[in-house]
Structure 1
Amino acid sequence: MSIRRDISDGVLVVSIDRPERRNAIDRATSEAIADAMDQLDADDSLRVGILTGAGGNFSTGMDLKAFLAGERVELPGRGLAGIIKTPPEKPLIAAVEGYALAGGFEIALACDLIVASHSARFGLPEARRGLIAGSGGLIRLPERMPRQIAMECAMTGRMIEADEALRWGLVNRLVETGEAVAGALALAAEICLSAPAALIASKRIVARAGRWPEETLWQRQDELLEDIINSRDAREGAAAFAEKRDPVWSTGSD
């Protein structure tokens, strides 16, 4: 198997399990990750996903040996690892140890949040190979850090160490080496305190509002807001606050 799946307390942990290839992505791995993301969205008992890599590295991107052998590593309509173009609707956290380079960095950027250990190294070296970071890196990186720094990284291909990634706001939390998954699970537990439908709507607005035309911005947000205001969870949240108790959320399909 090219990935492992573990479920705990509503969190799906997906581990890319090709340590001998530094978790490089071949076709089978793209398909397996895509299937896991479909599971995350379809299973109402799952609230948050975590994507990580086995063996001390996140991923070094496309498996060049597979590519040279004729494999089409990207999935039609979904891209590299099955999430570049179509991330899941539910929150997804990247737990990064070691290298997240090239397409591996782009996979991390396709996630909503990043928890990194001190061993983490990020980079887009494609220009040094005569290529460009065409799996979302050039689009998403300037949204996560200052544009001029993103430009420098894209043009020089240099690696960003964990401390610098934290300084630029590229990662949400920095933890000790070997603790990225534990840190991501702690963050996921905080996220799971929120209502499922509210999480999905919030993610959709934050992820897409920057690309909505200004004249439709409020209309698009209000359409999502109306559904949330009229939901069972909105009433439950207000009641729980008034009664000084923990809310009991519905499933995502309620």
Structure 2
Amino acid sequence: MRNIKLTIEYDGKRYLGWQRLGDSEKTIQGKIESVITQMTTEKIEIIGSGRTDAGTHALGQVANFKTNSEMSLNDMLSFFNRYLPSDIVVKKVEEMPERFHARYNVKGKQYSYYVWNNPIPTAFERYHSFYFPQKLDIAKMNEACEKLEGTHDFIGFSALKKSKKSTTRTIDAITIEQEGNMLHFTFVGNGFLHKMVRILMGTILEIGAGKLPVTIIDEVLEQKVREAAGETAPAQGLFLDEVYY
């Protein structure tokens, strides 16, 4: 039995997210599994590094599956990119040790979030960034980002109601780069809770727009109450850049 690792890029705007939903083929996982069945004649379930929400994109999602197929890695790569839709691309196919697990072996992840910050919207980036026309205070947003770095219980910045598992995560860095009218936020950490990056982004943007004080970060981390944080930023600005093992 071979253990195959995939590195995958996708534009999420047409899909209901990563996770397969019943018989629906409107998910990334569903589309890839359909092609694997066609390729190997085996009914196979792939394991992703984590779920991405409807409308979220990926430059470096990782998944693995086990197969008895003897097809070469190069032939697999060619097969995937011949039969997958053009908005899902397998960038790399690798053979891994039997114990490799795309989700359980994750050491960290990097996400990007893009904000189009101009009174005039953009036609070309509308599915890959969040249009935010209000003036933003970069210094205040950087201050908020610094408060979020480190090890904290982030349940107040997640969509989880409660969890039996630990909700403590470590954010190594949050950076902001300005490229013309586009703001590029990068989040690097050992893991992220459900909708955590989008809720952090919504909160950071409301701080930048003067709608929330910077001290709201301390309050949410202390009180662990989701309602105290900002709105959830929309999915189309979010990209999973890389998964670290």
Question: TM-score range with shorter-chain normalisation?
Answer: under 0.3
More helix by share: 1
Per chain length, whose mean CA-contact separation is higher, i.e. which structure has more relative contact order (CA < 8 Å, sep 6+)? 2
Provide the TM-score with structure 1 as the length reference. 0.24
More strand by share: 2
